[in-house]
Every structure is written in structure tokens, then in C-alpha cells.
A and B are shown apart, each in its own frame.
Chain A
């Protein structure tokens, strides 16, 4: 009986092992399929790690680059990798789980401070589009924020920007209520639970417009003294850039063309994006509103993607002033425009 039971056990283990081997082989074969297919097409896969654990309209230029053949012409096939959380993009490219990162500017600074040799290789946006948001029709008077309830997030950008809000309003942190949110402060704003929300305005506008059909009242932080620095950048590890400089150049060159095309043809660009992500892309109205609200932050056509040393000085200064950074590095440690040439 015992022998029979142990024979059954051995047989069971053998079957389980065979099944596991089959599943693992199948999974490996399917994952390597696209790579080998791309090799046969002569394309090199570039993995871009997104900044958010869900795809949205900020991916429009990348999907347009694929859909309109800009990347193919450069010999690339760009794959977007979705990170598990909002703050893992830098860690993922450092761990080799992606080639290029789509990060906030502050992530690069914190990455360097944490000993990660990450570098910004291009701006995504050229301007600081973070600001205050109020319900449609409401007026935002920065001088009258005393006693108001202002929704904030836990991210470093908000922490760096809030002192400018308080300073412009002539109030201390204790003179305003600051409910902390992790995912969304627009719904509480529209429900009248907070007086003002803070957000990058492309997302705030898209959310409010898709919910109410009206444009929210907004006040850019740059209007009351916050530095006009880009929020998002494309990044890569120095170690990756050393061996893949030509890929980085080709990627940025094609991306610049994709940006220009997406700015000139917003509706068609969003359609391309939704074709790539039909189920999880966010819908035509929301995505188009969001992309149109993103365009003003991308800067003039002749300066697309180009970084300035001054923007890094300002970011570092803002982070140091709120004690999020103790040892600032020179701007050249954070960025390079070298891969935008050629």
C-alpha cells in the first residue's frame, strides 16, 4: 500500500514536472517570439518603461512612432513596459527591465542621490504644467487661500511646489487644510469636498472635462512664482547608453518626429494610441482632451525634447529648499543632450 502510494506520488511529481516544463517552455517561446520576429524584420526592440502603473494619453507620441512607421524607419520596435507602481521606473531601468524610462524630473535627481547612474536624455515636456484646479466657473485667487482645503498628493513634485503656493498665498501650512490623496483629488473637488485640487493640468483638464463637459478653472504654478521646469523626461542608465548610444540617438530622432506629427494631428494621433490600447487606453474623449491639454507643455517645435542646464538647477534648488535633497550635483550629472544630435 505504502509502495503503491509512493509510486503514485512519484508519478504525480513526474506529471507535475512535465506540465511545469511545458508551461515554462511555452511561456519562454511566446515571450521570445516577438524578439525573434523583430530580428527577422531587422528591427531592434527598445523597451520604454512608462511612469505610471497604467497607460494613458502621454504615451501618444510613442504609439504614433510605431503606428506611423517613424521607429520602423529607424530600425526600432518600441515596446511600452508598464511599471508596478508610480515610483519604480528608475529602479526598473537600473535593474535592466527596460532600456529607456519615462520619468519625472525629480526621479532623476533622487535616482542620482540614491547612487543610480541614471541620466535624462531628453525632455518630454518643456514647461511646468503643475498648478491649482478649481471647479468649472470658480475663480482661483491665490491671495485668498487662507482656510481653504487644498488636495495634495504624496509625490515629491507636489512637495516641491506647495511652498510656492503657500508663499504666494501669504499663509503657513497650518493655515490651509491639505488632505492627502494617493490616486485622485478631482472627484472630491467636483463633489465640493475640497476647494482646490493640485495636479498637472493636462490630467486635471481631461478628468474634469470628461466628467462635466466643462473646462475647470486652473492656475499654473508658474504664474505665482514656481520655477518653469519640465515635469517629465526620458531617461536611461549611463551603462546602457555606453553600449547603445546609436539606439538612443535613433530612438530620440524618431520620437521627435512622432511628437511633431502628434502635435500637428492630435485626433489622428489619439486614434493611433487607442488602436494600440483599445481596451485600457481611457476612451477617445478623455484621451483627446488630455493630449490637447498636454501639447502646450511640450514647447515650440524647434525646441522639442531639448533640455536646458537651468531647468536642472531650478529643480535641484526647489528640492533642496523643501529638504528633499541634501547634496545637489551639477546639472551635467543629471542630463545630457548628446543623444539628441545626429
Chain B
């Protein structure tokens, strides 16, 4: 078994153990506090409900995934561009930053009605709410990343006559990647909750969020927990996808040298002259 396969297997076992631990604690809480199924059904019952009602859950889940992913992408793009714009101009930063902080302090539910009236009851309102939650950690992290770019590298580029765009692409952009992915991972975990809130604001189509309300209104706690598990899975999956993309986009986080097999002769001196190869 190769080292990579062994590593993956260990990680999968650990993930399974973590899920087992959560389910164990869940069962323990039910047992310790003598909770009845109407208050909190067991994880086994909740998972069984997903299986039994899959034909109901599936279209709802697809709807919520659509809102979550599209909203996340929009929020991430807005966050990145705002971060770059604010970093490039102190005036823009001073003008926009207070508004951004204020936007996060406003409870979305409080502006639900005006949002629905302004944007309608379709997908747009939900996308705005998801993007609203996602963009902020991205802005903050991108801004932070750009503020921490090595000044010597920037000065060197300037001395060597590099233009602003070239400096941004070659030095600043790579420097934002690690903090950007930190922001995206936070945003990925927020996105699904935001999609649920978006569905609660107003919807023309049922998703898992609206189903939560309907199931809760008829004391169907198994249905509520089944939907909650699916929502959690959407959030975790989105997080893992973003984390995997982060690993691919920032190889220097794990290795300080390029892989030997893929490194053409002579590149080391040009591309990695400031780093000490590990032995």
C-alpha cells in the first residue's frame, strides 16, 4: 500500500470515528436526560428517516445545494474583489470597511421583508443572503493577506521595473491564497445556514430550510433531524471541497520545495532561490 493510500485510509477511519463519536454523544444525551423521540430522536432514527423519505428529501436538497453553492461563489467573488480594491486604495478601504462591518451586525431576519419585497421570492433573495454571509470572512482574510505581503519583495519588483498588474499577479495574488482559502472555508460553513435563512425569508420553491419549518410545525422531529443531517452534510462537503482546492492551490503550505519528478533542470535557481531545499 502506498504512503498516500495509507494516509487516506487513516484519515477516513478517523473521520468515521469522529462521526461515531458524535452519534455516541447524541445517544448518550438522549439516555442521560431520558429524552423522548418528540424532543430528540436518536441518530439511527434520523438517518433511517433520510432513507425512508429520500424521494421527498432529494429535490429539496438539490434546491438548497443550488442556493448554497451559487450564493457561496457570488459571495466569494465579491469578497475577493472588495478585498483587493480596499487593499489598493486606502480611501476605498476607509469608505467601505465600516459599512461592511455594519452589514454583518445587522440581523438578516430583521431585513427579511424589505429584501423579499425588493428582490422577489425567487433565487435572487437567497443568493443575496448567502453572499451576504460569505463575503465578509473572505474580505477580511484577503485584506489581511495583502497587508502582510513581504515589503522587500514588493520593493524588489518595483526596482526591477515590474508594473502594478505584474506585481499583483506574481507577488500579491499568491500571497493572498492561503488567507483567501481560510476565509472561503469559514464562508463554506456559513453558506448552508444562510441558505436556510434565505428560504425562511420567502420562497417560491421548497428547500430543506422550508421543510424544517413544515416538519417542526407538525411535531415531526424525525423529519427535522433528517433534514438537519442533510444540511450538515452539505456544509461539510462544501468545506471539504474548498479545503481540497486550497491544498492544490497552495502547495508551499505543505512543501517548501517543488516535487523532484516534476522540476525541470535549472528551475530551482530561478524559481526557488530564496528557499532552502529540505533534505
* Chain B 195-213: CB-based contact to A (< 8 A → 1; otherwise 0): 0000111111010001001
Given contacts A91-B38, A115-B37, A179-B203, contact A86 B113 (CB under 8 A): no
4 shortest A-B CB distances, which residue pairs? A154-B213, A179-B121, A182-B200, A110-B219
B229 within 8 A of A: no
The complex places the Cα of A6 from the Cα of B233 at a distance, in Å, of 42
Q: Is the CB–CB distance between A90 and B219 below 8 Å?
A: yes
Select one of A113, A154, A180, A182 contacting B219, CB under 8 A.
Answer: A113
Q: List 5 A-B contacts (CB under 8 A).
A: A155-B214, A159-B214, A180-B210, A182-B210, A183-B113
Interfacial residues, chain B to chain A (CB-CB below 8 A): 36-39, 109, 112-114, 116-117, 120-121, 199-204, 206, 210, 213-214, 216-221
Interface size on A, residues (CB 8 A): 32
CA distance A183 to B204 in the complex (A): 15
Residues of A within 8 A of B201 (CB): 181-182
Please determine whether A183 and B112 come into contact, CB atoms closer than 8 angstroms.
yes
CA distance A115 to B38 in the complex (A): 8
* CB–CB B109/A183 < 8 A: yes
Residues in chain B near residue A110, CB distance under 8 A: 218-220
Query: What's the Cα separation between A188 and B109 when bound, in Å?
Result: 15
Nearest A residue to B114 via CB reads A187
When distances are taken between beta carbons in the complex, the residues of chain A under 8 Å from B114 are: 187
Report which A residues bind B (CB closer than 8 A).
85-87, 90-91, 94-95, 106-107, 110-111, 113-116, 154-156, 159, 177-184, 187-188, 191, 193, 324
**Of A95, A106, A107, A179, which is within 8 A of B202 by CB?**
A179
Q: For residue B117, which residue of chain A has the nearest CB? A: A191
Check A184 against B39 for contact (C-beta < 8 Å).
Answer: no
In the bound complex, residues from chain A placing their C-beta under 8 Å from that of B220 are 110, 114
**In the bound complex, how far is the Cα of B204 from the Cα of A56, in angstroms?**
29
Residue of A nearest to B203 (CB): A180
**Could you tell me if A154 and B36 are in contact, using CB atoms closer than 8 angstroms?**
no
Q: Are A193 and B217 in contact (CB under 8 A)?
A: no
CA distance A191 to B213 in the complex (A): 25
Q: Name the contact of B117 in the complex, choosing from A113, A156, A193 (C-beta under 8 A).
A: A193
Verify B203–A114 contact, CB threshold 8 A: no
Among A94, A191, A193, A324, which residue has its beta carbon within 8 angstroms of that of B38? A94
Beta-carbon nearest neighbor of B219 in chain A: A110
Question: Which of the listed residues A95, A156, A182, A184 has the most CB atoms from chain B within 10 Å of its own CB?
Answer: A182
13 further contact pairs, Cβ within 8 A, besides A180-B121, A182-B202? A85-B216, A95-B39, A106-B217, A107-B219, A114-B219, A116-B219, A177-B204, A179-B121, A180-B202, A183-B200, A184-B113, A188-B113, A193-B117
- Shortest A278–chain B CB gap in Å is 22
Known contacts A154-B213, A154-B214, A180-B202; A111/B120 CB under 8 A? no
Measured CB to CB, the closest approach of chain A to B210, in angstroms, equals 5
How distant is the Cα of A177 from the Cα of B203 in the complex, in angstroms? 11
> In the bound complex, what is the Cα–Cα distance between A156 and B60 (angstroms)?
18
For the complex, give the distance between the alpha carbons of A115 and B204 in Å: 33
Task: For B217, list chain A residues within 8 Å (CB).
Answer: 86-87, 106, 154-156
Residues in A neighbouring B117, C-beta threshold 8 A: 187-188, 191, 193
Q: For the complex, what is the distance from the CA of A85 to the CA of B201, rounded to whole Å?
A: 16
Cα A110 to Cα B223 with chains together (Å): 13
- A159-B214, A180-B206, A182-B213 are known contacts. Are A187 and B113 too (CB-CB below 8 A)? yes
Choose one: A106, A115, A188, A193; the contact of B218 (CB below 8 Å): A106
Q: Is the CB of A94 within 8 A of B36?
A: yes
Question: Contacts A159-B214, A188-B116 known; A181 to B219 CB distance under 8 Å?
Answer: no
